[in-house]
Amino acid sequence: MKRFYSDAAVVPADEGYAVVLDGRPVKTPGQRPVAAPTRALAEAVAEEWQAQGETLDPAAMPLARSLNSAIDTSDEQRAAVVTSLSRYAETDLLCYRAAGQPDLAERQRYLWQPYLDWAAERFAARFALAEGVMPVVQPQATVDALAAAVARFDRFRLTGVHLAAGVTGSVVLALALEARFASAEQVWTAASLDEAFQAELWGEDSEAAERRAGIAAEVRAADRFLSLLDAG
């Protein structure tokens, strides 16, 4: 789609701060006005619109995509997102340690265990660990505790946490990012640990490098979205 506007700006609105293009409201795919709960987030989304060239590139607008998703999330969809996040607790990346690779298993323990200890203290969520890829059944109390934790988020914050969990495979890492227990770089390092270890041993092909770069970009986007919700 060709660019159809000159200027993107932010104006006060009933829903918070609306993004406008040449004074006209921007609409989500669900035809709702694009408005953020904080001026900082609205201004960042407007900057994404302003930075577009002659042809619009949605891939270059991660904040706008996340904001649209949050706005268009119905109550029913919100409940589905909460359920989806609670299911990540059943298969969380941090619970699966390498079998037959003691060096990798030790690195996983060193890097991942602090997050599990934090979750146990913060949410009373204690995970069972496993070696290899065979599923391990997590205590129902743990799944319920994390479901309750994410259910408390509004639809904006829930969107950022869901994005982080989806790209990392870990609701614990996503919650650590939201709570500022860990930075985006720390979360990305934890989420891509296995790939980084294998790259050290065997080298990294272009496909693997692209995948790791994609994880990093998505984690940073989720982190910035959540940070702008806190910025006021």
Ranked by mean pLDDT, the top range of 74-78, 112-116, 128-132 is 112-116
pLDDT reported for residue 228: 97
pLDDT reported for residue 212: 83
pLDDT reported for residue 226: 97
DSSP the chain: -B---S-EEEEEETTEEEEEETTEEPB-TTS-B-EESSHHHHHHHHHHHHT--SB--GGG-HHHHHHHHHHT--HHHHHHHHHHHHHHGGG-GGGEEPSS-HHHHHHHHHHHHHHHHHHHHHH------EETTS--PPPHHHHHHHHHHHHTS-HHHHHHHHHHHHHHT-HHHHHHHHTTSS-HHHHHHHHTHHHHHHHHHH---HHHHHHHHHHHHHHHHHHHHHHHHH--
pTM, two decimal places? 0.93
pLDDT 10s digits, 56-91: 999 999 999 999 999 999 888 999 999 999 889 989
Average pLDDT score over residue span 121-147: 93
Q: Is the pLDDT of residue 161 over 80?
A: yes
Domains along the sequence of the chain with CATH = 8-71 (3.30.2180.10), 75-230 (1.10.3580.10)
Average pLDDT score over residue span 158-168: 96
On average, the pLDDT of the chain sits at 94
